[in-house]
Chains A and B, each alone.
Chain A
Amino acid sequence: MTVTLAYLADIGALAGRHLRHLRRSPGRLFLVTMTPAVMLIAVGYLFRDSITVPGSSSYEDYIMAGIAAQVALAGVGPTALGVAVDLRDGLVDRYRSLPISASSVLVGRALSDMVTAAVALAAVCGLGLLLGWRPHGGPLRIGAGFAVLLAFAFVMLWVGILLGTTMRNVEAIDGTGALILVVLSFLSNAYVAVSGLPNWLRPAADWNPVSSVISVCRTLWGNQPPQAAHGGFPATHPGVVAACALGVVLVTVVPAALRGFRRAVER
């Protein structure tokens, strides 16, 4: 077996471990799906008549991209928790004492958590369809919207891994995960257009990369109201902002997570 093949086999075996966990205790999947699903029902369905987005005819259409992006944000806490618990319980020590590459442990987790994100995304979007969301446009554009969300989920997953390796305390991780979810999604255009937010919050929401990711997805799904392009540079060039932000986060967070992991083993 060549070195790369062996590496892939290790990743597969370790990802398989996490997927077994998922099947055996679906609570984790529930955790990642629940918050976005509840928000979709609470805000998107119950309040749909009281919230108006300028230029948008259907609130369900408007909110769906924001809800879908929340799946990626909701995954941060559980991913971090999984990493921290493996470190705490000595499983990482065991894997590190084997003749396998250190990164395969994290990549295996990343792979399985991507599967979780994809399943959760499908579940939330399925619920959206039931509640009246409709994407407009060709299958290619709709698929591209999902690809953008998965890329976002991939980046956030590494944020979760970094969090897990640096913060070992389980309660602290829970709190931080919830904070990331709430702050990043409410300080964005997920529920209302940025123009509907208090004045002083607008720049933050405008430049929040989550807003950009949501805008790109919304546009690809044909759910973007025409007036949305008012605002600064981020509103007119969401693709550029989203790509740059995700890129920057990825190249800083992945090495930091790997370093944090190596250091965590040393503790």
Chain B
Amino acid sequence: MSTGTAILAEGLRKRYATHTALHGIDLEVPTGTVLGVLGPNGAGKTTTVRILATLLAPDGGRAVVAGHDVAREPREVRRRIGLSGQYAAVDQMLTGRENLVLLGRLLRLGRRGAEARAQELLDRFGLLDAADRPAGTYSGGMRRRLDLAACVVGDPEVLFLDEPTTGLDPTSRNVLWNVVRELVGGGVTVLLTTQYLEEADELADRVAVVDAGRVVAEGSPDELKRKVGTDRLEVTVARPDQLAQAAAALAVLGGRVPTVDEDAVRVTVPLEHGLDDVALAASELRRRGVTAADFQVRRPSLDDVFFALTGTAAKADSPTQEGADER
């Protein structure tokens, strides 16, 4: 493997008793970058992370993390990684400080070293005020921050964050995003899984979209958006009875047929000729006397990417579909 690769997964397969969770996952994360693994519930995100973090042995394929094979040298891998699981794994009965000191001692920082490291991280993650309260009294956001602090006690080269902001309020989410950005700024390689397209867009250099145990698309957020198609014009009309007029106006663009959303009183059309189309649409709407309540150009979001790639039925995980996949 090249020296510039922090995480490499090749053909990872995993079968549970009744169900194949991974059908051959390939990932490559260059050192110092963030890979967002995006997928619905049950896609295999957690399974992938647990294999890469040496907690789970794959049934096939191999993985190299921070220069060491996860199957052959798990301890070497563990020296270099931090794992934040899907649910914040902090000891609720211990204080924030005690949680961090315990990990520091297990990471052989010594008692003094562990205490100093705990103090430093509590400060950095904004937990000094709550440092000596049991973690069970923390809010969800604080607990997540403590969890994140816990996984960087050993100064890891590679961080695995499994749905780090699921269940957090927007403020806590923003705080957490900043913490992650700071860590990345310090040179850490991050693999984070998420169900939020916005999160992948915000944090990730590259995104791997997974569905039903396979990587169905991979690229930078922009590349993925481009894959899904062009920008669109969305016109929301002021009066429902003008919807047909608006649709007729946008049909003049000569491209694809506009789609009409009656509930949202909105007409949407792909923009195949950029600004020319926008200008034409505007004058055509005016000529027909349609009053637009909202008129905007929308770039495809990762949401669109996601649904285009996996379909709305992505979450279905039917046994028949599974059976067909077995070889």
Contact = CB atoms under 8 A, between A and B. Distances in A.
Q: Do A and B come from one complex?
A: yes
Interface of A: 1, 6, 9-10, 13-14, 16-17, 20-21, 24-25, 89-91, 93-100, 265-266
Contact of A20 (B87, B93, B107): B93
B20 to A, nearest CB: 15
Given A13-B102, A13-B105, A97 B53 contact: yes
Which of the listed residues A10, A21, A93 has the most CB atoms from chain B within 10 Å of its own CB?
A93
B106 A13 contact: yes
Contacts, number: 71
A90 B85 CA distance: 7
B108 A24 contact: no
Interface string B71-92: 0000100110111011111111
A98 B107 contact: yes
Given A10-B106, A94-B83, A97-B81, 13 more contacts: A14-B106, A24-B93, A89-B87, A90-B85, A90-B87, A90-B89, A93-B55, A93-B83, A94-B150, A96-B55, A98-B107, A100-B106, A266-B57
B54 A1 contact: no
Contacts of B50: 93
A20 B85 CA distance: 24
Nearest to B92: A89
- Interface size classification for chain B: 20 to 34
B106 A98 contact: yes
B144 to A, nearest CB: 12
B89 A94 contact: yes
Nearest to B114: A13
Nearest to A25: B93
12 contacts: A1-B108, A14-B102, A17-B91, A90-B85, A90-B88, A94-B85, A95-B106, A97-B82, A97-B83, A98-B106, A100-B106, A266-B57
Classify the interface of chain B: helix, strand, loop or mixed.
loop
B199 interface: no
Interface in B288-313: none
B259 to A, nearest CB: 44
B56 interface: yes
Interface in B22-79: 50, 53-57, 75, 78-79
Classify the interface of chain A: helix, strand, loop or mixed.
helix
A91 B103 contact: no
A93 B85 contact: yes
Contacts of A265: 55-56
Interface in B161-190: none
Nearest to A89: B89
A264 B150 CA distance: 22
B140 interface: no
Contacts of A10: 105-106
Contact of B91 (A6, A25, A91): A91
Contact of A17 (B54, B78, B79, B94): B94
Nearest to A97: B83
B98 interface: yes
Nearest to B150: A94
